[in-house]
Structure 1
Amino acid sequence: MTTAQEPLLPGTQRALLHRIAVAQAEGRAPSLAAAVVRGGRTVWHGARTSVEGHAPDENVQYRIGSITKTFTAVLVMRLRDEGVLDLGDPLDTYLPGTGVGEATIAELLAHTAGLAAESPAPWWERTPGSLRPELRDVLGEQPRLHPVGRRHHYSNTGYTLLGALVEEVRGAPWEEVLRREILEPLGLNRTSAQPQPPHAGGWAVHPWADALMPEPVEDLGRMAPAGQLWSTTGDLARFAVFLARGDERVLSAESVREMRTPAAPMEAADVVDGAGYGLGMQIQTRDGRLLVGHSGSLPGFLANLTISVEDDVAAVVLANCTSGPLLGAVGADLVRIVAEAEPRIPEPWRPLPEVDRAVLELAGQWYWGTQAFALRVTADGLVALAPLTGGGRRSRLRSNGDGTWTGLEGYFAGELLRPVRRPDGSLSHLDLGSFVFTRQPYDSEAPVPGGVDPEGWRGIG
C-alpha cells in the first residue's frame, strides 16, 4: 500500500521538474530551487540554474523577503499564548508614542491598521537601514492612509512595529528572540538575518535582453521584521510542516490554525482572485484548493511558501532575480501536481475507543423549521452539524465539558449549542444561538418560537 512516507512516483517527480524548468526558463531566473513536503517530510527537491554544474541544493540560502513576516507573526502569537498580551490590545499599551497606537495588535498582524505600505523615500528595500534608525523614521509624517480596521492594506511598516513590540516585551533584539524561540527549536539552522555561505547572489535581469546586473544587499535595520531573513528550501520545508501542524515547543496546532484563518476584510479584487489574509499568513483559493502560506520579494530575490493542509502537501520555491517567474503560481502548481497525481490516502476508519452516551444521544437527524440537518459525532471529539442536502449553515462544535458545545466556524462560530431536556430527562430539542432544532419539523411538543399551528400539517384543499 502506498503511504505518504514513500518516495514520489517517477512520473510525479518528472512533472515537478518540468514545472520548475519551465518557470526558470520562461522567467529567465539565474537559478531556481524548489522543494515539496508531503506527510510531514520533504519528499522532493529540484533546481535549475543558468550556470552549468552549479545547481543549488536544499542548503543554499536565498533571501526570502516577506516570508519573514510569518516568523514575526509567530513571535507575537507566542506572546499572546503566554498571556503577556491580547491581540485586541492597542499597540499603545506596550509601545506608546508611535502615533498609530490605537491600532490593535491583531489589526497590525492582518494588515488592517490603515498604515501606509512603505516607509518614506528613499525606497527602504534598496537603501541602508541606517537611514531609518527610529520608528518615527519608518512611519514618517503620514503613517496612516485608511481608517483603522476598515480595509486590508498590506503594510511593511506595520510589521516593523510588531518587531519593535517583540523587542519591547522580550527585552532583547528581534533577531535574538527569533533565533531562541523559533529557529533553534525547529532546527532551522540555515535561516539567518545575514547571509551565510553557501548563498545565492541577487540579480536584476534586463527586461529586453539576456543580461544581468547585481542587486545591492542591504541590512534593513528597523524594517528587518518585515523582510530581512535568508533561508533555504530545506529550512522552509520544515517551517511549512510547523505551519500546518504546529509544534508545542513553539506554537500549538490551534494557534497556527488561527493564523491560517481569514482575519481581514476582502477587497473587490481579492474576492475575484479568491485571496485573503490571516494573522501573518496569506490565504488563497486556486483550482478549488485552499492554499495558505506567504510570498516574498526583495531586490534580487523572489520566494514563495504554499501549503495545502487538506492535501498534506506544501511547496517552497526560491529564485535569485528581482522579477520574472511567478513563484506563487509555481508553488500552487507543485502542490496540485502531487495532490492530483498521488492523492492523500486517508487513514483507516476505526471506531471510537469509547462512546459517551450523552453525546451519542445528540447524533442523528434534526430540523430547523422544515430544513433537515444531521448532527454527527466525529473521531476528533467534536460534533458536526450540517444540512442533509444542499448548502447552508454548518459548523463543527467543541464540547465545553458541561454538556454544552461551542461552534468553531461559519455562521455558528462562537455560538452556544445547548441540549434541552424534558422534566423526565429525555431530550427535547437543541438550542443553538436561539435557533430551536427538533427531531420532527415544527415539533408541536417542542418550544418552537412563534408556536405551531394546532391543526398541524394539512393539504391545500
Structure 2
Amino acid sequence: MSHIAKVLALAGIVAFSNAARADGVLSDLLEPIRAQYELPALAAAVVKDGKIVAQGAVGVRVLGKDIPVTQEDRFHLGSDGKAMTATIAGMMIDEGKLRWDSTIGEVLGPIVPGLKPKFAAITLEQLLSHTSGIPSDTEDLLKLYFNAEAFDYTLTAYRLRMISEWNSAHDLSVPSGSTFQYSNLGYAIVGAMIEQASGKPWEELITTRIFEPLGLKSAGLGPQATFGKYDAAIGHAVDENGKVTPRPWGPSADGPAVVGPAGIAHMNVADFATWAGWNAGEGKRGPALIKPETLKRLHQAHIKTEIPHPKPGTPKSGSYACGWGLSHFDWTDKPVLIHTGSNSMNLAMILVDVEHDAGIVAVTNFPGEKADAALLAATKELYARYVKAKAAP
C-alpha cells in the first residue's frame, strides 16, 4: 500500500464514522468508492421532483490533517459552471439585450477595435456550444490567462484586453471532421458579451441572477476555503511524479479569475443538487430565471462529439448543447445532460435527467483519472438506486 493510500485509509476510518452519524444514507455507498479510488473526500447528492432525496460526504478535507468533511463543505465545480454562464446568456436573450445570433463584432466591436472579420462573425450560440473555431487552451492562451499585466486591470477590462490580444495574434482554425473544440476562452468571451449587454460584471450577475434566486447560500467564486482556514474540501495538485500538494488558498488554489465565466464557482452538494433539480424541471418550477423555451434550447444538442479512445464507462459518442454535454450510457434509458468540471485540483460531475425530473451531483477534492472513475461509479450507482428504481412501475 502506498503512503498516500495509508494516509487515506486511516483518515477514512475516522471520517466514515463521522459521516455515518451525519447522514446515514449515502455513507455506505460513498465510502467504499472513496477508499477504492484513494480519494481524500467524496460527496454526492440526488434530487428528484425538485427535492433532495439523498446526500452524503465522506473522507477528509485535506491530506495530512484529520478534519472530516461534512455535507456543508464547499467543493469546486470547475467547468460545471459553464451551464450557469449559459443560463445568464439566456437571460440576456429573454430581455432582448442579446440574441442567439449576436456576433462578437456586433457586441464587442465598438470597444475592442481591430477584430478580424471571421472572429467578429462568431455568434453567441457558437461560443456557447464550442463551435466557434476558437481552440481549447493552448500555451499561448495560458500565457494570456496567467499574465502579470492582469493585476493592472479589472476583470472586465482584462477580458477585453485578452480578447483583443488573442484576436491580433491568431486566426481561427477548425479541425477536420468536426467543428467542436472545447474552449474556455470562448466562455470568457461570452462573459464579456454578457457584461457589455448588461452593464454589470459577470461576477455580480452570477451572484445576483443565479446564486441568490436559487437560494444557493454556500455558493461563491474562486478557492473554496476561507483564506487561512481549512473550512472546506481543499483541492490537491498532483505533479508529473505523483507528488500530491494541498492548495488551500491564494492564486495557486484556483484557475485565473479572468476566465471565471468558464468555471470558478464552488458550493456544497445540496446547493449543487438544487441547481441540478432546477434544470431537471426545465424551468417549469420556480424561480423563473429564464423562459422554459430558452432553457430547452440551452439543453438541446448542437454538435456531435466523438471520443476516439474513451475511458471505461464513458460513451464513445455524444453531443454538446450550451454548457452541457449529452450522453447515453448503458445504464440510462436515453441521453442525459452531463458535465464534468476541474481546475486541475478538484473534480465535479453533474447529471440531469429531465424525463425523470432528476439530478445527481458528485464531487471530490482530487483530480485525475481515478477521481473521474470514482465520480462516474458513484453517479451510476445513485442513478440505479434513486432514479431508475423510482421510475420503474
Secondary structure of the corresponding residue to residue 233 of structure 2: coil
Give 1:267 deviation, angstroms: 3.6
- Within the candidate set 308, 319, 331, 2:379 is matched to 331
Cα distance between partner residues in 2 of 1:339 and 1:123: 40
Give 1:83 deviation, angstroms: 2.0
CA contact (8 A) 2:31 2:59 kept: no
AA matched with 2:188: T
Cα distance between partner residues in 2 of 1:94 and 1:147: 26
For structure 1, which segment, 76-85 or 103-112, has the greater mean C-alpha deviation from structure 2 after superposition?
76-85
Correspondence for 1:231: 267
5 Å-filtered alignment, 1:2-401, equals: 17-50=27-60, 54-96=67-109, 97=112, 98-99=115-116, 100-118=119-137, 120-121=139-140, 123=142, 127=146, 131=150, 133=158, 134=161, 135-137=163-165, 141-142=169-170, 144-146=172-174, 151-194=179-222, 195=224, 197=226, 198-205=231-238, 212-215=244-247, 216-218=252-254, 220-245=256-281, 246=283, 247-267=286-306, 269=308, 273-287=316-330, 288-289=332-333, 290-323=335-368, 324-326=370-372, 327-340=375-388, 342-344=389-391
Structure with the higher strand share, 1 or 2 = 1
Structure with the higher helix share, 1 or 2 = 2
For structure 1, which segment, 39-48 or 117-126, has the greater mean C-alpha deviation from structure 2 after superposition?
117-126
RMSD (Å) for aligned C-alpha atoms: 3.2
**Identity across the alignment (%):** 25
Cα distance between partner residues in 2 of 1:232 and 1:149: 39
Cα distance between partner residues in 2 of 1:223 and 1:212: 25
Give 1:343 deviation, angstroms: 2.0
Secondary structure of the corresponding residue to residue 286 of structure 1: coil
Where in structure 1 are there 5+ consecutive unaligned residues?
1-12, 347-461
Larger RCO (CA under 8 A, 6+ residues apart): 2
Secondary structure of the corresponding residue to residue 298 of structure 1: coil
CA contact (8 A) 2:279 2:354 kept: no
CA contact (8 A) 2:145 2:259 kept: no
The higher radius of gyration belongs to 1
Give 1:286 deviation, angstroms: 0.7
AA matched with 1:183: F
Deviations 1:386-439 (A, max 9, x none): xxxxxxxxxxxxxxxxxxxxxxxxxxxxxxxxxxxxxxxxxxxxxxxxxxxxxx
Aligned CA distance change for structure 1 residues 81 and 126 (closer, same or farther; 3 Å): closer
Where in structure 2 are there 5+ consecutive unaligned residues?
1-22, 152-157
Cα distance between partner residues in 2 of 1:22 and 1:280: 31
Cα distance between partner residues in 2 of 1:222 and 1:272: 32
Deviations 1:285-312 (A, max 9, x none): 0124322132100121101111122223
Cα distance between partner residues in 2 of 1:192 and 1:143: 35
Aligned residues: 333
